Amino acid sequence: METPVAGISTILCPLGIIIIGASDKGLRYISISKDGSIPPVGENKHSAEAKRQLSEYFDRKRDTFDVALDLEGYTAFQQRVWQKLTEIPFGKTISYANLATTLGDSKCIRAAAAANGKNPIPVIIPCHRVIGSDGSLTGFALGLDVKQFLLTLENDARFGTKQAVMQF
């Protein structure tokens, strides 16, 4: 049974309206309103804290997040991938191949990429920091323009042009 959302916050940022959903345990999802509509807002402590930290991130005053996550209902593999994503330093990137290697199986590239694409809490779980081995921007559920924006926000000098892949 899926954990119900108990709190919803919104934030207006350069990407548009971000919707933050949280259960009583932690964050459940982050999405961008495509049509400008927003659901009824009723914050809880987790959605309000994520809103505060995301505001600081978009104001370039925060480079790490410390919010409770509620990933109930997702597979152990997906959660393992998302944990690895949180270890990618701010302003840095890794390739999908490197992500698979850090998971202990260089052959699980497609599975790791699929889990990356199902990340329900983008930005806070920084799936945007995973790029192609050749430095190209590939696969981002919120759109490649959003991925480019986030990478540039984190490191304009480096990501304002072609991406470079780091190993960690």
Looking at the whole model, is its pTM more than 0.85? yes
Cβ–Cβ < 8 Å for 6, 44: yes
The predicted-structure confidence for 45-68, as pLDDT tens digits, reads as follows: 999 999 999 999 999 999 999 999
Q: Which residues are catalytic?
A: 127
Read off the CATH number of the domain in which 113 is found: 1.10.10.10
The predicted-structure confidence for 1-56, as pLDDT tens digits, reads as follows: 466 788 999 999 888 899 999 999 999 999 998 888 888 879 999 999 999 999 99
Read off the CATH number of the domain in which 52 is found: 3.30.160
Tell me, yes or no, whether 92 and 50 share the same domain: no
Cα(159)–Cα(168) distance, integer angstroms = 18
pLDDT of residue 163: 44
Query: What is the domain extent for residue 41?
Result: 7-58
pLDDT-based confidence at residue 125 (cuts at 50, 70, 90):
very high
